[in-house]
A = this chain, B = another copy of it.
Amino acid sequence: MTRAKGTSMSLTHSDGCDTAGFPAYENSCSVDDGAGRAIRDVLDRVGDKWSLLLIATLRGDRLRFSELLKHIPGISQRMLTLTLRQLERDGLISRTVYAEVPPRVEYELTELGGTLIPMARTIGDWALANHPAIEEARAEYDARP
């Protein structure tokens, strides 16, 4: 995981708008400046239904379209295509077309895309560790007047 060093923090504030947890978000610094936009962008990408799952599936592998379809249960052909295009556009995965018959296209993580793996791991770890507590909280919330 690459850490954002001090460089990013100096982007936004001259007014004591420090944000140890989430740079540029606390104390109502503008959301539309660089830092806020960066986070929103990443959340928009990673937060959608299939992107992170796709990243995780491609980890260390080089898979073709039909393989991805099989390895990701529930995804439609359309969403696989769209998600792959998005990720390719963002430079997170690479697409290689082989001029063969029948056609063959392989996808793999770029170096940049690979750096997402630790993030996926962090999210996965948190989910596994705390999901029981969340479910319990939900049950309690739903059961009370």
Copies in the complex: 2
Q: How far is the CB of A90 from the nearest CB of chain B, in Å?
A: 5
Q: What 0/1 pattern do residues 1 to 45 of A give for CB contact below 8 A with B?
A: 111100111111110000111111111101110110111011100
CB neighbours of A52 from chain B (8 A):
22, 43
Asked if A105 is an interface residue, CB under 8 A from chain B, the answer is: no
19 other contacts beyond A43-B49, A89-B137, with CB at 8 A cut-off?
Answer: A1-B47, A1-B49, A2-B129, A3-B125, A4-B125, A4-B126, A13-B71, A21-B60, A22-B56, A23-B121, A25-B53, A25-B128, A26-B71, A31-B74, A34-B131, A89-B142, A112-B133, A115-B129, A116-B126
